[in-house]
Structure 1
């Protein structure tokens, strides 16, 4: 089970990450582009759930490389709290229930999201130094 404090700690280990605000929500960015952000459900999101109960608890959105990667992550990590909603159809990002995600899965997802936007030389130096 993770929290936004865990997210802050993990993204703090990724070079050149900046915490910003986008649409009134905390966003973590590299190279000026957000790769992870708080993503509570909107009223429209909740309405789309109909009679189904939406996930309860803090939700984090994380960028993925492309739609194929999104499908692979969702298939491999559904039991770890990774999911999507109709609003994210056609968008290269996944949602994560922080109450369900193991820390190692969260760490990997944040690194992968960071790598999507990190400058090549920064990414290479970070990966070489691990």
Structure 2
């Protein structure tokens, strides 16, 4: 049986990708970046609670949001329009190729699905040569 994703899978998967480091962006937010060093570009960010992302059921700010980069608008649409997965967006992210997901809802997808989404996020930000080498080795 397929294992469900858990929040700890984020670090395990991201840290296992080439040239990834856990740094910060948006001030102090933990962010997985590629490549390592000053040219690193974020592909997964732990977002602080903010008035632009409110739970429509409770009116509370989402406290456990991840921002995950997607390759393009069609990938974003595929994730947010699929009712079987927990990904969504908010108007604040209109025009930005990223989706949101609550860490507490990662168990709604398999670890394999999460890994595929995170690899796509990494590949959208990593240098082209690094991406080509990674996929050539798969």
TM-score after normalising by structure 2? 0.78
Measured on the aligned residues, the alpha-carbon RMSD in Å equals 2.1
Runs of 4+ aligned residues of structure 1 deviating over 4 Å after TM superposition are 54-57
CA distance in 2, matches of 1:44, 1:91: 14
Identify the structure with the greater helix proportion.
1
**Distance (whole Å) between structure 2 residues aligned to residue 14 and residue 111 of structure 1:** 8
CA contact (8 A) 2:50 2:62 kept: no
Q: For 2:90 and 2:84, how far apart are their aligned partners in 1?
A: 16
Unpaired runs of 5+ residues, structure 1, are none
Q: In structure 1, how many angstroms separate the alpha carbons of the residues matched to 2:101 and 2:120?
A: 14
Gap regions ≥5 residues in structure 2:
none
Aligned residue pair count: 125
TM-score normalised to the size of structure 1?
A: 0.83
Match of 2:65 among 56, 59, 66: 59
Q: In structure 1, the residue corresponding to 2:23 is in which secondary structure?
A: strand
Contact 1:39 1:61 in 2 (8 A): yes
Residue in 1 that maps onto 2:21: 18
Q: CA deviation at 1:42?
A: 0.6
